[in-house]
Amino acid sequence: MYYFSDHTWLCFINAFCVGTVRVDTVHVRWKSKKDDFIFPFDVFGPDNHRGLQLRRKRFYHTLAIVLELEPNKEVEVAVEAEFLENIVVELDYTANLPDECLASIFHFLSSSDRKQCSLVCHRWFRVDGQNRHRFSLNARAYILYFLPSLFTRFDSMTNLALLRCNWKSNSLNDDALVLISIRCRSLTRLKLRGCRELTKKGVAEFAKNCTGLKKLSVGLCMFGACAMNAILDHCTALEELYVKRLKGLNDSADPIAPAQRVPRSNPSA
């Protein structure tokens, strides 16, 4: 039987890690006769810097290993000698990747793969949230309750689509749209499909808050001409506008037309 103290652990890691040892977390898996278990421990260097690789020699002299189970305490662990050679050091390569690298990888993933990946660990969850600009949401009424947390997570969202596939359920209402406009003022692209519960009041409020809107696409909505005019008046940065099957046009006698200026592309109502 071998008993390992903190110090011998150090030598031990030193002996079994070939090449470079990466700072952060090193997992040592150990196979005993009964079961194999992974013994994780954190490695703290003189400069606890993510992504820094330290050579074996330097690692030995300068790093201290703190066992996760009992930090800063000498821990004795017994292993039978013949199993020592079975020790496999597993490294999490992504721990060394800076956040930007992770983000650039996520950039190439599809929406569903990103969703999956964001559930891997807190860091991936955070990085995915910070770097996602485009989001598509099923526009049901209940999403109102989730909106605050959603926009806290995806705080750099600029491109939002609110779609509805089920006609029986209620769509999101004015409150939700206003909340979106308050939380997400940098919104540049918005797509609304089948959001029947939206009225001219909500859309007008939205237009006041999101003045940076560049592209708006509306389909199967009921908010009528007044709301469209409010958007044309307030969203002066608007470059593209698609309108399809807009209802509620009979409510007011006003035609859809900008108050002061001519938009670059004409609405095809």
Partner 1 sequence: MSSSKKSRIVKFKTSDDKTFEVEEAVAVQFETIKSMIDYVCANDCTIPLPNVNAKTLAMVVEWCKKHADERDQLMEVDVDEAPGAVLYDLLVAATYLRVEDLIHRVSQRVSKMVIEIGKLPEEEDVRKTINIKSDFPPQVEEELRKLRRTLGPLSDVLVLFVSSGLLE
Residues in contact with partner 1 by CB under 8 A are 20, 25, 27, 40, 51-53, 55, 90-94, 96-98, 100-101, 104-110, 112-113, 115-122, 124-125, 137-138, 143, 146, 149-150, 152-153
Question: Pairing between strand 189-193 and 215-219?
Answer: parallel
Nearer to partner 1, 5 or 104 (CB): 104
- Smallest gap from Cβ 246 to partner 1, in A, equals 25
- Token code pair at residue 178: 């206003």
Q: What is the largest CA-CA distance in the chain?
A: 91
Say if strands 240-244 and 215-219 run parallel, antiparallel, or are unpaired.
parallel
CB of 158 to partner 1, least distance (A): 18
Nearer to partner 1, 91 or 269 (CB): 91
Smallest separation (angstroms) from partner 1 to the CB of 49: 9
Q: Which is nearer to partner 1, 4 or 106 (CB)?
A: 106
Question: Least distance in Å: CB of 87 to partner 1?
Answer: 15
How far apart are alpha carbons 231 and 226 in whole angstroms? Answer: 9
Q: How far apart are CA 60 and CA 26, in angstroms?
A: 14
* Minimum CB distance to partner 1 smaller for 73 or for 122: 122
Query: How many residues appear in the chain?
Result: 269
76 Cα distance to chain centroid:
41
Q: Which element (helix H / strand E) includes 28?
A: strand 25-31
Comparing CB distances to partner 1, the nearer of 175 and 239 is: 175
Q: How far is the CB of 149 from partner 1 (least distance, A)?
A: 4
Spatial contact of 25 and 43, defined as CB atoms under 8 Å apart:
yes
